[in-house]
Chain A
Amino acid sequence: MRKLLRTIFLIDLIEGLWVTFHYQHPKYRCTEQYPAERPKVAERYRGAPRLNTNPETGETLCIACNLCALACPEKLIVVSSERNEKTRRKELTTFTFDTSRCMFCGLCEDACPVDALELTQDFELASYSREGAIWDRQMLEEGPRPTKYKF
């Protein structure tokens, strides 16, 4: 009898619809209005790579040890260095990082012994060409500059 009444008065459907309707209140809104509202990503987020420099002198922290290139599963990092005749030390000349092949696994930053290479919180990596996705040393040190939209 009760089951019959439930069927006739569509109680089972109304129960479900009640759940839907009580979420109509604006306080339950959870859509993020990107790009007007930019997400705040976590501190450990693995995004755009960056080659850190010494903030005082502007010199690179990289010691050109090539460990990141060896750790990379996709072999997309190319490090080249030159031996300085005076100080007898290896100095970094070029550093390329192909972000189009990168899967942001974080193995390169784990491998870095001096915390020079780091995956940062920048996540907007789109570019107009394939070549634009290959970052050279200057780009890695200065970071990407995504267009800031105004609303």
Chain B
Amino acid sequence: MADTFLDSTELVLNMGPQHPSTHGVLRVIVKLDGERVIGTECVIGYLHRGVEKIGENRTYQQFAPYVDRMDYVASVSNGLGYCLAVEKLIGVEVPPRAQAVRVILTELNRIASHLVWLGTHALDVGALTPLFYTFREREDILNIYEKYCGARLTTHAFRIGGLQYELYEGFEDEVRAVCDTILPKIDEYEQLLTGNRIWVGRLKGVGILTAEECKQYGVTGPMLRAAGVKWDLRKAQPYSGYEQYDFEIPVGQNGDTFDRYIVRLEEMRQSVRIIRQAVDRIPDGPIMGKVPKVIKPPVGEVYVSIEAPKGELGYYIVSDGSTQPYRVRVRPPSFVNLQALDKMARGALVADLVAIIGTIDIVLGEVDR
């Protein structure tokens, strides 16, 4: 009878939207039984800016800067997805030089995104130090962006049909230098975290999502790979010349939070591998394809998806033949992956909920759009 005394067994608690470990403005309504989570409900939309609606009132070129602002941690990947979608819609061939540069920049962006994830996730779990180190390393990558296209975060680096900016002098050397410094630094993070008993104790066996459940929820990206499914759009449907590069798809076994951490670290190493191959053979030639000044695609629709750092990022564009898209629908990886939160959190402790939210790697700008 003690557990029903004064009906105190169940407690409904609000976590967020100002909670620092919800990575932005996510509100999670948690139903608790003591320390155990018996149910969660996400309330999203605090960062809704109507990006898809804005797209209907802008020309194709004008909408490109807005997509950077959805997943602002990986803005280059967003730009690549949008540009590929419009290029497929108007049937423009991107020159090989532009493709190689795009691959280098998006892979650098993947490293930067995973570095932010690692720092904030470790901070959530209680390890304060990696945050400073990861942001220090990310700074080198952001400096490359600043020198290449003039902005650090919302880069607007790619244009429809290719690139706007030619490479600056010393780009290759700087990229190689970043590759050389990042690998020992990743080992250093592992030294800090992987063996640490608190880190292992907090992450192992927490937030398990099996491969079958991942497929049911439509979860993609490192979360799916941590469950043991070897699925990467860069290999499965190569775009932007990814078929030329040699890299592995890291997979986990258990699908828990610790495996996702290992998979993401390994993905950073594989990105370094891709960048090294790409930077050694940047072909010469033009950087812009034959794109008309006013883009007026034929009536039709197109769906293009790429492997963003967080998962499958898709753009579905419907054209009515005018200079503005009729509809732009974005399939954001964070939004879809967030759906699995309830499944993972059920039965976990409240303290683990923080680790589980962190492991999804959500960016609320992308969830709410």
A residues touching B (Cβ–Cβ < 8 Å)?
7, 12-13, 15-16, 18-20, 23, 30, 41-46, 71-73, 103-107, 110, 119
Contacts and interface: CB of A to CB of B under 8 A. Distances in A.
Nearest to B68: A105
Interface of B is mostly: helix
B62 interface: yes
Nearest to B143: A42
Contact of A44 (B129, B136, B149): B149
B126 to A, nearest CB: 12
B196 A7 contact: no
A70 to B, nearest CB: 9
Given A12-B197, A13-B197, A19 B150 contact: no
A106 B195 CA distance: 46
Given A42-B150, A45-B146, A107 B191 contact: no
Interface in B141-180: 143, 146-151, 154, 156, 164-165, 168
28 contacts: A12-B195, A12-B196, A13-B196, A13-B197, A16-B129, A16-B196, A19-B188, A19-B191, A30-B139, A41-B146, A42-B147, A42-B150, A43-B147, A44-B147, A44-B148, A44-B149, A44-B150, A45-B151, A71-B61, A71-B62, A72-B62, A73-B63, A73-B65, A103-B69, A103-B154, A106-B150, A110-B164, A119-B150
Contacts of A7: 197
A34 to B, nearest CB: 14
Given A73-B58, A73-B62, A105-B156, A45 B150 contact: yes
B12 interface: no
Given A16-B129, A19-B129, A43-B147, 5 more contacts: A7-B197, A42-B147, A73-B66, A105-B64, A107-B61
Range class of the B interface residue count: 20 to 34
B367 to A, nearest CB: 21
Contact of A46 (B58, B69, B151, B197): B151
B191 A15 contact: yes
B349 interface: no
B186 to A, nearest CB: 12
Nearest to A30: B136
Contacts of B13: none
Interface of B: 58, 61-66, 69, 129, 133, 136, 139, 143, 146-151, 154, 156, 164-165, 168, 188, 191-193, 195-197
Contact of B191 (A16, A44, A45, A103): A16
A19 B129 CA distance: 10
A16 B195 contact: yes
A119 B69 CA distance: 20
B192 A19 contact: yes
A118 to B, nearest CB: 11
A72 B63 CA distance: 10
A73 B197 CA distance: 51
B24 to A, nearest CB: 19
A36 B147 CA distance: 23
A31 to B, nearest CB: 10
Contacts of B62: 71-73, 107
Contacts of A16: 129, 191-193, 195-196
Q: Nearest 5 pairs between A and B by C-beta?
A: A105-B65, A73-B62, A44-B150, A46-B150, A42-B147
